Structure 1
């Protein structure tokens, strides 16, 4: 499937098409050759991350004032989609580095915080994490138990976080933590606080042994009497939960783009394999059942891409997009999982071998129905947009 075919059915201008083509070439020539070994060894290739930074990918949706590219969320999605075709781990490294690492600083930080943190983050020279999920607070993020109290001009944090991406690399600068900072009218006051890596009491625990995204950096975190300056508060006190919900809305568009790329990677691999695989004297691709499977896979990619493009354009136009982002994540994550399953079936026994990309996509894609809001959460968002109470 050519780059031209890849872009069929979407309305991209010349600059956007050039970006998509550039990332696609980089993915095939640089990312794909290292993907198997990085997955096997559970190692994030920081050399490739640096190259992504040099290409300007981490700065795509940010203003030039802080070292960004002056682009938008659609541009970011195109880059993430292009990477995810061949390596979801590097795609999520970019997605989390932008949506969860730099974007909270850009959206809610003081000018001093922006000047201090954004240049390195947007250049891909540093990464940051988003410390929201806890052992007892996943989809129910309001159940946050990590606490932060003011004492002598410092925040003192205690608690734990889990499943935090980009939190323990050699270039991770900080993790922005949600924490309970008080109580208002009987409800938790949740704020967000920047906690630099290496702060005494802040422990990045050993990396998880995961089913997929093995080359993505993911750790549990422990905070024991961690002290940071009062000025490390990010945004207005008590608005941390609301602010992070808006960040998650945007992140769902990026995850939808990633899932679309994964679904397309499975389609491309399956089409190629079916054309080469001989079964009972003829190519597998000549069998109608295989053709119908591949046709359904193509339809899923097309639908997923239209969904995330629509949500991204709404976001970039400053219009409400939460429902559309939820729809895009729902449709695309299911497309990625369904295409991974169908591609593995097309490959037969070879699809069960990790040396083939479809096996990696099969393991990687399940998390797309869980991370940054489960399928059930997306359905809840959509149901609420219909006026359904519950």
Structure 2
């Protein structure tokens, strides 16, 4: 982390930048993590701040041109001698890493649900299509190959749904949920890749045409294995949490 916050009188001065901030140009307030003690051990000298939109020194960059999720704008946010009051510190000084870990875990449940929703839409479109598409005098939905594709993807999406609900229930009831959130995010986002690919395949050449929604679903689902922690990071978290109990 390169963004720094230094105390000057009764104000914090922020300098640095943050990439890929969702809805940056529409936000009314930003939750910002910055290094407040550069000499502290890694992860220990970070603090969390609340910065209101319109604060002098807070600059919102251009909207990124993304592969998918065009309905969700993504911006760079830059801090140039951005001054905020001492009261803008969220929580305790140098305790920001703990706050971040908790927030990221909760966010992963949301991304898992997003992935499931996109996958569900893709499969619903595919099932409707194969019931109408005729080959050799019958709907391709009646062909064993298509039925197996549907069965595999539907089973995976149901498993993803249950993992998401379990993680959400644990969080709602104040119980540990880091492992379950990562499991839900990993499984649901990877299942969404399979589901959107399979749904496009079931459409055949039509799935590659923008008149059908599959090309959008495939692009929108792709990012879910990346943000809020990549699939590889989720595997590290899961393994770490599992080994804690050994």
| 1:362 equivalent in structure 2 | 218
Q: CA RMSD in A?
A: 1.4
Aligned to 1:212, what secondary structure does the other structure show? coil
| 1:138 equivalent in structure 2 | none
Contact map agreement 1:176 1:195 (CA 8 A) in 2: yes
| 1:261 equivalent in structure 2 | 117
Aligned to 1:313, what secondary structure does the other structure show? helix
Tell me: CA distance 1:291–1:186, structure 2 relative to 1, closer, same or farther (3 Å). Answer: closer
**2:4 is aligned with 1:147:** yes
Contact map agreement 1:167 1:174 (CA 8 A) in 2: no
1:124-170 CA-to-partner distances (Å, cap 9, x unmatched) read: xxxxxxxxxxxxxxxxxxxx11001111211111001011002112x
Contact map agreement 1:155 1:228 (CA 8 A) in 2: yes
| Of 29, 37, 53, the match for 1:174 | 29
| 2:180 equivalent in structure 1 | 324
Aligned to 1:366, what secondary structure does the other structure show? helix
Aligned to 1:289, what secondary structure does the other structure show? helix
TM-score, structure 1 as length reference: 0.60
Q: Alpha-carbon deviation of 1:329? A: 0.6
| 1:157 equivalent in structure 2 | 14
1:33-76 CA-to-partner distances (Å, cap 9, x unmatched) read: xxxxxxxxxxxxxxxxxxxxxxxxxxxxxxxxxxxxxxxxxxxx
| 2:206 equivalent in structure 1 | 350
Larger strand fraction of residues: 2
TM-score, structure 2 as length reference: 0.94
Contact map agreement 1:166 1:218 (CA 8 A) in 2: yes
1:221-274 CA-to-partner distances (Å, cap 9, x unmatched) read: 111111111111111111111101101111111111111112211111110000
How many residues align? The count is: 243
| Of 364, 372, 376, the match for 2:232 | 376
User: Which of these two proteins has the greater Rg computed from alpha carbons?
Assistant: 2
CA distance in 2, matches of 1:177, 1:251: 16
Aligned to 1:168, what secondary structure does the other structure show? helix
| Of 94, 115, 126, the match for 1:270 | 126
CA distance in 2, matches of 1:344, 1:210: 21
Q: Which ranges of structure 2 fall in alignment gaps of 5 or more residues?
A: none
Tell me: CA distance 1:155–1:185, structure 2 relative to 1, closer, same or farther (3 Å). Answer: closer
| 1:241 equivalent in structure 2 | 97
CA distance in 2, matches of 1:186, 1:276: 62
**Deviation >6 Å, runs of 4+:** none
Aligned to 1:150, what secondary structure does the other structure show? strand
CA distance in 1, matches of 2:30, 2:91: 15
CA distance in 1, matches of 2:158, 2:81: 50
Aligned to 2:28, what secondary structure does the other structure show? strand
| 1:87 equivalent in structure 2 | none
Higher RCO, 1 vs 2 (CA within 8 Å, ≥6 residues apart): 2
